[in-house]
Structure 1
Amino acid sequence: MKKYTFCLLLVGSMAFAQKLTIEETVTGGRKFAVQTQTAQQWRKNSKSIAYLSPDYSNLMTKSAANSWKETLLVTKTDFENAVKSKITSDEFALKTFPFAIEWKSETTFETEVAGKNNNYKVTYDIVSKQISNVTSYTSEGEQARFAPNGNVSWLKENNIKITTPTGTVIDVTNDSDKGIVNGSDYVHRQEFGIDRGMWWNEAGTQLAYYRKDETMVGNYPIINWNEREAVNKDIKYPMAGMTSENVTLVVFDVTTGKKVTIQTGEPKEQYLTMVSWEPTGKNIFIGILNREQNHLKFNKYDAQTGAFIKTLFEEKASTWVEPQHAITFVPNNPTQFIYQTDFNGFNQMYLYTTDGKLLKNLGYKDVVVKDFLGFDAKNTKINYLGTANNGLDLQLYQVDLKSGATTQLTTVSGMHRASVSSDGTMVLDQYSNVTTPNEISIIDIKSKKTSQLVKAANPFTGKIDMPKMELVTITSADGKTPLNGRLIYPSNYDATKKYPVMVYVYGGSHAQLVNNRWLGGGGYFDYYMAQQGYVVFTLDNRGSDSRGKKFCDVTHRNLGVNEMADQMEGVKFLKSKSFVDQDRIGVFGWSYGGFMTTSLMTSQAETFKVGVAGGPVIDWKYYEIMYGERYMDTPQENPEGYAKASLLDKVKNLKGRLLIIHGAQDPVVAQQHSMNFIEASIKAGKQVDYFLYPNHEHNVGGKDRIHMYAKIADYFDVHLKK
């Protein structure tokens, strides 16, 4: 017999009759936002924090010197006037105070502002109220990267330009063929932690950049239906098992104009990841991952000649290797760096030398590092956010580089977003859990004394009756692994009644739906459906995020199999509850969740009576190379796995009512998936409902999202609730 554990939460007061409206399933996040301090951070070299006022018009501060009382630091008007005074050649109209600021000292910060003609990076002094160190580039530019010496690189379509401090614009590349893409972050479809396509060395004299050649990749049509005559926009979409893009790394010298291509070798169809300059600028490091994604070489190259120097280390796996983070050099020590990997089970940190010698494992228990926060003032310790409580919690940790000893700096169970002051004496801690909407405090690390800054009230009190919710633990299908689940009861719950169920599912990697945070990680639509009389259930099956590599590896070459097996354990749990109507269970999911929904509707047809699948993957051979081949290998290598995961021949098993929703311009899960499924359903004599959202890509946003949720709710009401 399975064992189930519970954490009970009653959100709000049941003394009121109000419910969320369908509009509030989309707008509720703003309307019922909890009290907070927006964009809060430590001011450098001080015992004070800065954040934005509730209307985003002023920069506020609190400090230990005045017992953490709120005072005004800078107004939007002051800042805007300083910008206009310094930059007279452009026009500015700031709607809010800048959100993204970086403190350079206690009294100065850097930020970016947009003018009518150009974009600017400026330094502002809060004492003199003056702007200095202005760096600019045209407002037509994209993906700008700033160098310390004032150079800024930016993209114009598929080419790179550099604006120097004197205003000179340098053409780095001049490729007329749009199939050659330079400097873009959209390389390898942004897998492998790729978030940029250009890297300056520390001196700002050389720029490394991706050069992506996708001329050999077939064109894929995306139709815009808004024109008088529909217009086709071709994109490059390399499908699993087919020809992929070729990527190289080039180094450009600003002074000489010389370009050097790093000699990353053959085969051309490989992935270049973890690009990092050595602080001296002499060498550059690249992770070379083979197309099979099971062998990583971390290589060192001469940045001046492009020559290969050595492989520092390698990682091989029978499943996959998935680098996600560039290395981080230890400040003031160009011979040591931090490397993150899940190779030994959990994503953790390791201290290496630039010769490839492993100095220390900095990991702690089964903690998964989620956010590297940087070093302390003496550069002897690292602060980071990591998991706890089987992935339900996020806590702040500090590890000593010399001893490897780890200290947990936050302790209250929940999801923490926290940071350490630059002098290393205090923690700015913000957290929520299932009973705490939001709490912000300052913690003295030595004395453990806490100064509370914000304790948010329940934003629903007196406004909305929110149903009760439980976090539950369910054993996986292999009988070994605890899985995290969330159960939301219907409003006005009566234990003597039987209720229909909506299972909300995702199930794929890099996603986690259940957390020990406010509302348990549930969305407003989940709670809306509970208010309409449904039991709403979500389970993070094996294959999802924050539980380590082994937890995810079970999906290899067989996507959907173990995920569905775990979801059915969730169904067993539901059926064990007397208030669940076993004949009225439905499922809803998007993207990977759409794949899971359609899989469950066709493989567990006796269980699921209604399904709504948004943007579903129907056959993995139609999905892109970088993600698809990591988990499934190629269709040529794994024909059995692709056949088992394909839903085109499974539609014949469908018995319930299934609604497929797709964005008509989806470049992620191409509409080909759902269209082929509809064609297969026609041939199988099965009735499947189909709805397209024109002018939307993979997700439906804006006001149209309200329409989408209304359609989903109505579909469940018509076919499951009656």
Structure 2
Amino acid sequence: MKKLLVLFLFGSTFAYAQRNFTIEETVFGPRQFAPETLVAPQWIPDTDAFTYLDAKYQNLLIRDSKSNWQDKTLVTTSQIAEAIKKTLGTEDEIILTYFPYDYQWKDQNTLAFQINAKNWKYTISYLLKDNKAAILTKAPNEGTNIEIASDFSKTAYLIGNNIEIIDQKGAQTKVTQDTLDGIVNGSDYTHRQEFGINKGMWWSPDNDKLLYYRKDETMVTKYPLIQWQERVASVKDIRYPMAGMKSEEVTLVVYNSKSGRKTTLKTGEPKEQFLTICTWDPSSQFVYVGVLNREQNHLKLNKYNAETGDLVQTLFEEQSSTWVEPQHALLFLPNKPNQFLYQTDQDGYNQLYLYNTDGKLIKNLGFQDVIVEDVRDFLPKGNSLTYIGITNNGLDRQLFKVEIPSGKTKQLTQAQGTHNASISSTGKFVLDQYANISTPNTINILQADGKTAQHILTAENPFEGEVTLPKIEPVSLISADGKTPLNGRIIYPNDFDPNKKYPVMVYLYGGSHAQLVQNRWLYGAGYFDLYMAQQGYIVFTMDNRGSDARGRDFTRVTHRQLGQAEMADQLCGITYLKTKNFVDTTNIGIFGWSFGGFMTTSLMVYHPEVFNAAVAGGPVIDWKYYEIMYGERYMDTPQENPDGYALTSLIDKAKQLKGNLLIIHGAQDPVVVQQHSMDFIEACIKAGKQVDYFLYPTHEHNVMGKDRIHMYEKIAHYFDLHLKK
């Protein structure tokens, strides 16, 4: 019996033993343990069928209502590759290892996708019925920022800082030929990609005209980045517009591909302004531009004549005592070319507003306190629109449908959590993928009324049988103002014993456009959070006021004094932790990067009695060293807000540091330049304060790749050294 018992116990342990994450899995774990899902799903136009890639990215599968949503193979990678080789008529070497992830349906029978070859980047059209492929567009391999006309007749791209166009016959045109350092054409890196800017060129709907940014940053101060690879280090200069200093001057130009004529839109003075939400009118005769002043508190939506560049009309203006932050281009209704949707949080939450092209507000399409996060699809006839909306105090994402003429809104998905859903172009079915804290991934086909038509997938816990997942617990707190609910989470050690005391790692960010706590798988926790919990830490995270997805008033409280309300809220979290008997209040650490690094350092110097150890990565130390576009939105200029800049600067507060602080910085950081941390180190030296410092010589703002493993190992070791006693 003893032998059998020993054998049973050994067999059970062998079969079901689980382990902790390795340090390597803090970086590569998200890919290794990703829950099962449908890869790159897309509805086929004008059908009730959708396609997606198999798990090995080799086959394109299809499911449709006619076959009761059962999957079958539609086309394989080998079929695509064979068709390309037979019909392309090019000498370029093309290797198709995986099915193109970026495939798009042009119609019910035609796929379009991009591939890279030896000399060119191609857009390929593939006909399913004929098993034939053809080149739709091509651009040279060195071309960047590629923009393709909707009829595939022309392709614009950048070579360096200049724009070229190539047509379907291969004829190339140099649109710009600027050689002066500091003149940049067509780049998405305009206004440092703030204000929702993600491209620098736009083809007109008639595909004859190209609208593009022309950025003049010759007057912007050069900032040196030291290059360490050579025997004698060299200097790489970047243009960095620091708060309160000279900013770039940007114009918008229309290039007519038929006449070769260029027209600059007359956006007026002052030259230091931000040109945003650029949108072509459906007629291709006009361009709409959001003209935002440098103070970022006054937006004009202007309409310009694309032929003459003249200002036709200011449709409306939006002003604020804090800031106006345009993020989304206008969206014209497919059935009414004189009406468009505009997104703004001017009434409290980012929502949709229907205007006509004369600037008249037709209807507010907002629904309760739902925040529009992602506009999805128009339904047939263009009278309805779907979007992903944020609900449940920022925790959930749901799919909504709004009837545009009436404004009537319906929530199409119901389960609490984060939904990634899309509706078929017929409007009959919804493909819904959702996850929450206890659900890795569930996929259903829903009917238009929201009822489940077919269950597709319930993903298993990807850690089951291999890695012991720590317990993750949602936390709800109240902010320092005593009235605003805050979302947080606690991650417990695997062998948690409420009668023991554990050190704490607080992980935070705290800045705008970021949210760490969401009702999705793992509740938004990162793998390093899970790893540290497995190493015996209580890991705590909370989204303070100023962070994302909670509406206008939640963010505006930080104006002109970044870090103050945020710190007050984070201290509410610390107060909560201290009520727990299992928390070792003498060994609390804090870790954050970028704005989180600013928050980490701020808490260490403002409240040195709270934290025994901290790691600040790429930290902002003084906002006068930060860029104009982001920094002045929240802080105004140093000249306008000297008290706010003095309050939030950490250089003169280095003398208040008491605990153990490790600062990590990338030597090539073009976002939070190294001067931030170097000035703080110098202040610590003069104040007689010891501080630890580590530099990643070849990395920019984030440490990426295998070096990120080295970074996490260093951070874990630092907390072990100072918090485990």
SS at match of 1:507: coil
Pick one of 674, 678, 682 that aligns with 1:671.
674
Give how far 1:178 is off. Answer: 2.6
TM-score by length of 2: 0.97
> Among 572, 595, 598, which residue is 1:595 paired with?
598
Amino acid at match of 2:398: Q
- CA apart distance, 1:87: 2.0
Q: CA deviation at 1:496?
A: 0.5
The answer to whether 1:121 aligns with 2:123 is yes
List runs of 5+ in structure 2 lacking aligned partners. Answer: 1-14
Equivalent-residue separation in structure 1 for 2:150 and 2:396 (angstroms): 37
Contact 2:18/2:467 (<8 A) preserved: yes
Residue identity opposite 1:139 in structure 2: N
- For structure 1, which segment, 523-532 or 441-450, has the greater mean C-alpha deviation from structure 2 after superposition? 441-450
* Amino acid paired to 2:363: K
CA distance in 2, matches of 1:709, 1:436: 28
Instruction: Find out whether 1:338 has 2:318 as its counterpart.
Output: no
SS at match of 2:444: strand
1:22 maps to what in 2? 23
Decide which of 645, 648, 657 is 1:645's aligned counterpart.
648
Does residue 532 of structure 1 match 2:538? no
- Aligned counterpart, 1:180: 183
Residue 497 in 1 paired to residue 523 in 2?
Answer: no
Q: For each residue in 1:323-356, what CA deviation from the matched residue of structure 2 results, as whole angstroms up to 9, or x when unmatched?
A: 0000011013210101111111111001110000
Superposed displacement of residue 239, structure 1: 0.1
What RMSD, in angstroms, separates the aligned Cα atoms of the two structures? 1.1
Task: State the 1:525 CA deviation.
Answer: 0.5
Greater mean alpha carbon deviation, residues 84-93 or residues 646-655:
84-93
Percent identical pairs in the alignment equals: 58
Contact 1:84 1:91 in 2 (8 A): no
Match of 1:239 among 239, 242, 248: 242
Is 1:101 the counterpart of 2:79 in the alignment?
A: no
CA contact (8 A) 2:662 2:693 kept: yes
The answer for the alignment partner of 1:215 in structure 2 is 218
| Cα-to-partner distance string for 1:421-473 (whole Å, 9 max, x where unaligned) | 01001000001000100011100123713311111001111111111111111
- Does residue 348 in structure 1 map to residue 351 in structure 2? yes
Point out the more displaced range, 41-50 or 166-175. Answer: 41-50
SS at match of 1:260: strand
* Alignment correspondent of 1:34: 35
Q: Is the 8 A contact 2:412 2:450 kept in 1?
A: no
Residue 305, structure 1, aligned to residue 292, structure 2: no
Deviation digits for residues 196-239 of structure 1 (CA, Å, limit 9, x no counterpart): 00011111111110000000001111122112222211110000
One-letter identity of the residue aligned with 1:130: K
Aligned to 1:328: 331
Question: Who is 1:398 aligned against?
Answer: 401
Q: List per-residue Cα deviations over 1:576-599 (Å, max 9, x = no partner).
A: 111111111110000000000000
Correspondence for 1:432? 435
Do the aligned partners of 1:373 and 1:384 also contact (CA within 8 Å) in 2? yes
2:121 aligned with 1:135: no
**Separation in 2 of the partners of 1:634 and 1:667?**
20
Query: What's the counterpart of residue 458 of structure 2?
Result: 455
**Residue 518 in structure 1 maps to residue 521 in structure 2:** yes
Q: Amino acid of the residue matched to residue 118 of structure 1?
A: W
Say whether the 8 Å CA contact 1:158–1:178 is kept in structure 2.
Answer: no
Q: Tell whether the 8 Å contact from 2:57 to 2:98 is kept in structure 1 after alignment.
A: yes
State how many pairs are aligned: 709
- Aligned residue number for residue 66 of structure 1: 67
Q: Which amino acid aligns with 2:557?
A: V
- For 1:447 and 1:225, how far apart are their aligned partners in 2? 58
Aligned twin of 2:631: 628
Corresponding position of 2:12? none
Q: How far off is 1:133 after superposition? A: 5.5
Give the corresponding residue for 2:197.
194
Q: Decide which moves more: 354-363 or 103-112.
A: 103-112
- Tell me which residue corresponds to 2:693: 690
The equivalent of 1:111 in structure 2 is 113
Provide the C-alpha distance between the structure 1 equivalents of 2:263 and 2:641, rounded to a whole number of angstroms: 39
| CA distance in 2 between partners of 1:591 and 1:85 (Å) | 51
The structure-2 alpha-carbon separation of the partners of 1:423 and 1:17, relative to structure 1 and needing over 3 Å to count, comes to: closer
2:8 alignment counterpart: none
- Partners in 1 of 2:17 and 2:548 — Cα distance? 37
Q: Does 1:380 align with 2:383?
A: yes
**Whole-Å Cα distance in 1 between the matches of residues 135 and 88 of structure 2?**
11
State TM-score, norm by structure 1.
0.97
**Cα pair 2:88 2:134 within 8 Å, conserved:** no
Question: What does 1:276-295 correspond to in 2, within 5 Å?
Answer: 276-295=279-298
Q: Please say if residues 663 and 695 of structure 1, whose CA atoms lie closer than 8 Å, have aligned partners that are also in contact.
A: yes
Q: Deviations over 1:560-610 (max 9, x none)?
A: 000000000000110011111111111000000000000011111000110
Matched with 2:488 is: 485
Corresponding letter in the other structure for 2:115 = V
Q: How does 1:563-642 map to 2 (within 5 A)?
A: 563-642=566-645
2:351/2:371 contact within 8 Å kept: yes
Residue of structure 2 equivalent to 1:8: none
1:498-548 CA-to-partner distances (Å, cap 9, x unmatched) read 111000000000000000001010001001100111000000000000000
> What do residues 638-676 of structure 1 show as CA deviations (whole Å, max 9, x unaligned)?
010001110101111111000000011000100110011
* 3-state DSSP of counterpart to 1:536: strand
CA distance in 2, matches of 1:105, 1:87: 21
Q: Is the 8 A contact 2:335 2:381 kept in 1?
A: no
SS in 1 for 2:504: strand
Query: What does 1:247-262 correspond to in 2, within 5 Å?
Result: 247-262=250-265
Whichever residue aligns with residue 497 of structure 1, its letter is: K
Q: CA deviation at 1:635?
A: 0.3
Give, in whole Å, the separation in 1 of the partners of 2:135 and 2:121: 14
Distance 1:447 1:414 in 2: 16
CA distance in 1, matches of 2:284, 2:658: 63
Matched residue, 2:11: none
Letter in 2 for 1:562: A
Distance 2:450 2:233 in 1: 67
Report what 1:78 is aligned to.
79
CA distance in structure 2 between the partners assigned to 1:646 and 1:630 by the alignment: 17
What corresponds to 1:7 in structure 2? none
Q: Which residue of 1 aligns with 2:46?
A: 45
Matches of 1:709 and 1:539, distance apart in 2: 21
What amino acid is aligned across from residue 136 of structure 2 in structure 1?
V
Q: Is the 8 A contact 2:542 2:573 kept in 1?
A: yes
What's the offset of the Cα at 1:291? 0.1
**Could you tell me how far apart the structure 2 residues matched to 1:265 and 1:256 are?**
25
User: 1:476 & 1:190 partners in 2: Cα distance?
Assistant: 31
Gaps of 5+ in 1: 1-13
**TM-aligned CA deviation for residue 17 of structure 1:** 4.6
Amino acid at match of 2:85: K
